[in-house]
Amino acid sequence: MSAASFPEGFVWGVSTSAFQIEGATTAGGRGPSIWDGFSADRAEACDHYHRHAEDVRLMKDLGIAAYRFSVSWARVIPDGRGKVNAAGLDFYDRLVDELIAAGITPYATLYHWDLPQALEDGGGWPVRDTAHHFADYATVVHERLGDRVGTWFTVNEPWVASFLGYGSGIHAPGRTSTADAFMSAHHMLLAHGLGVQALRAAGASEVGAALNISPVLTPAQVSDFGRELTEEDTEAVTRIDALVNRQFLDPMLRGAYPADLVPLIERHAGLGHVRDGDLDVIAQPVDLLGVNYYAPLVVQAQPSEPADPAFPGSEGVLFCTVPTAVTAMGWPIVPGCLSQLLGRLSREYPQTELLITENGADFVDVATGDGIHDLERIGFIEEHLRALKTAIDDGANVRGYFVWTLLDNLEWTDGYQRKFGLVHVDFATQRRRPKDSARWYRDVIARNGLPGTRARRPTLETVAARAHVSRATVSRVVNGETSVSPEVRATVMRAVRELGYVPNAAARSLVTRRTNTVALVLSVPRQGGDPLTAAVVQYVTSMLEGAGKQITLMLADTAESHRRIVSHVEGRLSDGVVLLPPDRGDTLAERLSRTGVPIVLLGKPAVASLVPYVDVDNAGGAAAATEHLVARGRRRIGMVCGPMDLISIQDRLAGHRAALHRAGLRPLLTPADGYTRASGAAAARRLIEDNPSLDAIFAAGDQLAIGALRAARKAGRRVPDDLAIVGFDDIDAASATTPPLTTVRVPVAEQALALARLLMSRLDGGHATSVVLPARLVVRDST
């Protein structure tokens, strides 16, 4: 076996989940799941329900040996218990037959976060009966598929489902209760144990579970795993490891909760839900453990830090970003942590066979006429496979590797903007196009190993050779120097685009002097205008020019413009940067932060970051608006969500949901296609038609709310007599509507001024922390 080859019989596969790809949420008798009401995006996803034969052919063409899919509980048993939907089982029957005919081994996951809504209405995972209903469901699915499916996973990533779904509320079902989170975690573990018993009784040959396991490190350990820790950092690392990893590993594989975690569970949830005999059931012997690895958790002790809602008991722990390469979601790329993780699992649970059930990355893909050249994804997978090979050589018992994921899909709360797939999906047409990474993975499978040399990123020399110019000329072009002729500049930039070159240290100008220039980087305003952008330009420019600074306006609207902006800043052509994060999540802020040039953001970034920002309390403003409606007796409150790629809209949705939850009410959500009055009217019309008893609408923006007023009038609804409407932003038109619009006032000028002051503090070398300004409810006649 060569140094780059994997063991004989190593399993190469891909993983998906039902809600993210199937679509057809009302077809064939499927009932609603908790994600159908929670996700603001339409759930057509990849229409895999109707296109599964095409997707199986794709896998066959790529040489995929194994396919891990999940079964939709709501498709098989629409109410979660009771009557079985034969049509739902028929779909999975057809899928498994297609896989076997194509020579692909099916691996089935029974629960990938999509609990039937009927069970949630009955209490959800905090209720013990849900675990027993799961065991019944496992039996039903095995009776139909067990003659062809040999390997079964009970639950997928129970930490995410319990602590993000029931603790922080950022995943379905959106509850925010620490006690519910811990009870959910225990009952998912119990469901696993009962499910293993049910599957074994039905004759299943192999059973396991898939856990998200993240090594917990301090920032210093990311580059030096052996770094010794202070007593305080040791305690912080140990506590978070218990919450995220050992809370699930130890009960499953050792039959006990970690001793250091039990007091924390008791403090937040009591121990009444942990009954005698539960841990014996949970610790049923398993045949393999699925390991989902994406990134480490990086923490350090910080006495003043409040607890993160997703990590109850984490007070005094700071969750850090680190200056390393990141994915488009801002997750740090640390392949060595996979070797470390597998070594740890092999030492601490030596009898357990391991399978990498998920590993992959979201990057910004650009579809061109000649393909999708996702070199970053190839590099990510290759480096993680090299780390996996190192672990195997060191004795880790790993059976195989499954990429996450086959197709670009519906990425939960992030909708369609995330691109994890080996295959590109045009969601308007459902056309599938294999990316370069898919073909690269096909070759890895064919040779059962990696190529002898790593995939090489384009270098300065590569660009120079393509453009037939000198290396120095390329450096001058990417640094924006004006001494290069337009013709040569065009030739170099064409080569940059064709090769996907990203300037690095070799291309930087070694400029260290102050330029007295600030780059003001703007995203494209949405249709209908952006008063906040205009205020930033006005106030920031006025303040900084008054301080003797020149302003360079730069537009961040394409991947090429992002590269140009990074090159400009890396070349030290500006002393500082004011950045309005683009609508869709990307890594521009993180890339700029690693240049060492002071940067401040307008608006909270999509991913937690150490870069300071100025924002308004969007969640608090939305909660105040919703509480205002509840206080006036409104009980059927719908929300027009707006574009969910905006972090401000996501926060407003979270605040609205939290207020409804406190009032014992369920959300009624309708997405708007844009941020205009027309899109607001269309969304409100759907909301009113689907919910005849609707008595209030909260719109995520005033333009949407004005559109909702129009829709209400056309539907014959009187505002506010039988339908109250609230907006957000307090634009000039809000007070001039009929009736005048109740809304949440965003302090636009104050945000712009705070941003300018924050940057000035950073330019002067002062310590800068993020600023979140309060939003105030303005009550007018529409409520």
List active site positions: 157, 358
**Which residues are CB-contacts of 350 (< 8 A; sequence separation ≥ 6)?**
none
CA–CA dist 694, 725 (Å, integer): 11
Token duo for residue 240: 């978070």
CA–CA dist 722, 243 (Å, integer): 47
Amino acid at 651: D
CA–CA dist 425, 433 (Å, integer): 7
Question: What distance, in Å, lies between the first and last C-alpha atoms of the chain?
Answer: 73
Whats the size of the chain, residue-wise? 783
Short-list 565, 477, 559, CA closest to 520 = 565
Compute how many other C-beta atoms are within 10 angstroms of the C-beta atom of residue 555: 12
Residue 510 pLDDT = 30
* Secondary structure percentages of the chain, helix, strand, coil, to 5: 45, 15, 40
CA–CA dist 259, 110 (Å, integer): 30
Give, for 424, the enclosing helix (H) or strand (E).
Answer: strand 423-426
Token duo for residue 773: 């300004």
CB 346 within 8 Å of CB 354: yes
Token duo for residue 469: 């110019």
Amino acid at 253: L
**Which residues are CB-contacts of 280 (< 8 A; sequence separation ≥ 6)?**
255
CA 77 to chain centre: 28
Residue 506 pLDDT = 39
Question: What secondary structure does DSSP assign to 610-641, as a single string?
Answer: SS-EEEE-HHHHHHHHHHHHHHTT--SEEEE-
CB 116 within 8 Å of CB 168: no
Task: Tokens 């006649």: give the residue.
Answer: 781
**Which residues are CB-contacts of 546 (< 8 A; sequence separation ≥ 6)?**
none
Q: Which contacts qualify for 378-382: CB closer than 8 Å, 24 or more apart? A: 378/436, 378/437, 378/440, 378/455, 379/454, 379/455, 379/457, 380/327, 380/333, 380/335, 381/437, 381/440, 381/441, 382/440, 382/450, 382/454, 382/455
CA–CA dist 243, 234 (Å, integer): 14
List, in sequence order, every beta strand (DSSP E) within 165-276. 206-212, 216-217
CB 638 within 8 Å of CB 687: yes
CA–CA dist 405, 35 (Å, integer): 19
SS (HEC) of 59-96: HHHCCCCEEEEECCHHHHCCCCCCCCCHHHHHHHHHHH
Residue 241 pLDDT = 98
CA–CA dist 139, 132 (Å, integer): 11
Could you give the maximum distance between any two Cα atoms of the chain, in Å?
A: 79
The SS3 call for residue 486 is helix
CA–CA dist 610, 725 (Å, integer): 37
Using only C-alpha atoms, the chain has a radius of gyration, in whole angstroms, of 27
**Which residues are CB-contacts of 307 (< 8 A; sequence separation ≥ 6)?**
313, 314, 315, 317
**Which residues are CB-contacts of 616 (< 8 A; sequence separation ≥ 6)?**
648, 746, 747, 751, 772, 773, 774, 775
Residue 491 pLDDT = 85
Residue 611 pLDDT = 78
Short-list 484, 649, 502, CA closest to 583 = 649
Token duo for residue 688: 């009113």
Conformation bin of residue 16: beta by default, left when phi > 0, alpha when psi is -120 to 50: beta
CA–CA dist 600, 680 (Å, integer): 32
**7, 480, 567, 569, 602 from 509: Cα distances, Å:** 47, 10, 9, 10, 28
The SS3 call for residue 109 is strand
| DSSP bridge partners of 12 | 401
Q: Is the sign of the CA dihedral 419, 420, 426, 428 positive or negative?
A: negative
CA–CA dist 377, 394 (Å, integer): 26
- Write out residues in the chain with pLDDT < 50, as ranges: 1, 504-513, 526-529
**23, 69, 85, 463 from 27: Cα distances, Å:** 9, 19, 11, 51
CA–CA dist 167, 151 (Å, integer): 31
Conformation bin of residue 265: beta by default, left when phi > 0, alpha when psi is -120 to 50: alpha
Compute how many other C-beta atoms are within 10 angstroms of the C-beta atom of residue 547: 14
Token duo for residue 468: 């037939």
The SS3 call for residue 170 is coil
Omega of the bond leading into 739 within 30 degrees of 0 (cis) = yes
